[in-house]
Chains A and B, each alone.
Chain A
Amino acid sequence: GEDVEQSLFLSVREGDSSVINCTYTDSSSTYLYWYKQEPGAGLQLLTYIFSNMDMKQDQRLTVLLNKKDKHLSLRIADTQTGDSAIYFCAERNNAGNMLTFGGGTRLMVKP
């Protein structure tokens, strides 16, 4: 079955770049997503990347996809205290609408 893994925790200083990593096992993934979850809230979609792309940039966010290694990363430039949250990667497989999430990475931004 599908498996999505993330590191648990990342701490950065305000203004630095953050890089959150994710690995997945399903080679039939079509889309990969990054979601943000703030305390007590649902999941908010930040960005996505199609599996035939290797990079996508959206303002302060850069997504890198290494399909060979099944590795996905999210880079947040100029990280702000408001970026403190839990970040989830998720993959959608080619078999249907199955959406599988990683365990989440808690990002702490220190002033």
Chain B
Amino acid sequence: EAGVVQSPRYKIIEKKQPVAFWCNPISGHNTLYWYRQNLGQGPELLIRYENEEAVDDSQLPKDRFSAERLKGVDSTLKIQPAELGDSAVYLCASSARGGYGEAFFGQGTRLTVV
């Protein structure tokens, strides 16, 4: 079974440019998370989806960040315009309903804003 797939793996952009990240969760997983991981720190939640509904986006900087999960499967996270402080690894994870709720992570997208 394929794991969580993210693309691109790496992205370098100039500040004020837009950027988008894509995530394909594990098939059948209802919950999808976007986390940001700054260098030397733990992941911090940006947004959580239950199916296609964003149920927790309190940490998403809504002036420049947006996300969508059409049809409750794939998701995109967009930053427009990017700032130097947005340089980080953006991690996508998914989990199934029930069980012990483990979240499976993709390899992440490393964003560098110059």
Contacts and interface: CB of A to CB of B under 8 A. Distances in A.
A97 B104 CA distance: 13
Interface stretch (A13-21, A57-65, A73-81, A101-109): A101-109
- SS class of chain A's interface: helix, strand, loop or mixed? strand
A43 B43 contact: yes
B102 A45 contact: yes
Interface in A18-71: 30-31, 33, 35, 40-45, 48, 50
A44 B104 CA distance: 7
Interface of B: 4, 31, 33, 35, 40-45, 48, 50, 55-56, 91, 93, 95, 100-108
Given A43-B43, A99-B45, A100-B45, 12 more contacts: A31-B100, A33-B102, A43-B105, A88-B42, A92-B101, A96-B56, A97-B48, A99-B95, A101-B35, A101-B43, A103-B41, A103-B42
17 contacts: A4-B42, A31-B101, A41-B107, A41-B108, A43-B93, A45-B102, A48-B102, A96-B55, A97-B31, A97-B50, A97-B95, A97-B101, A99-B93, A99-B95, A101-B35, A102-B42, A103-B40
